[in-house]
Amino acid sequence: MARGGHARSGPPPDPNSERSDLRGIKFTALPSEGYSGPVPDFPLPRRLAYFVTEKVRTLDEDTTEMVADREAELWAWAWSQPQAWAWSQASESWRVPTIAMWVRTYVLCESSEATAADKGSLHRFQDQIGLSPAGLKENGWAIAKDEVGAKRAESKPAPSKAAPKRRMRVVSGGSA
């Protein structure tokens, strides 16, 4: 008999629960420092921007270039995140177009042209590629804690508290 329902029916697996341990559910630890490996080329064609005057569409080259620059900036940022380590694995290469669609939709949602449907799809893309807390759980990923960095921060001496500089001084005998 079939069980379950939708992908999100019921509570998501909890990596800290005993039941998940019994079922063998383990989360993949992603490096907290992010990903520094090779970044694939952006797979989507350039998004052309137009302006319309009296039902005539004209290519807006400046806006087209600005959109391409913003997409390139966001693409580079996404590939520096811990999730990019998982995306870079050979078994996950199918995600690259979805990551690109997240970038394209994110840039669109920054503009005044964005619709409610665009903003809704942005959340779905974020979940699919693991850039949201729900998406991390859904993909079975967890960002590893940087224990070495935490120890390093603990071992640094606290900065000494210098006496505050005096801003006002009392001057005696100065009445006019």
pTM here is 0.71
Whether the per-residue pLDDT at 174 is higher than 80: the answer is no
Question: Domain-by-domain residue ranges, the chain?
Answer: 34-144
User: pLDDT for 38-86, tens place per residue?
Assistant: 999 999 999 999 988 998 999 999 999 999 999 999 999 999 999 999 9
> Do 25 and 13 touch, CB atoms closer than 8 A?
yes
Q: By CB neighbour count within 10 A (0-12 exposed, 13-18 middle, 19+ buried), where does 98 fall?
A: middle
Cα separation of 108 and 70, whole Å?
10
Identity of residue 130: G
Identify the CA nearest to 98 among candidates 117, 137, 126. Answer: 126
Pairing of strands 50-53, 56-59: antiparallel
Beta bridge partners of 78: none
User: pLDDT for 113-163, tens place per residue?
Assistant: 999 999 999 999 999 999 999 999 999 999 998 766 556 666 666 665 665
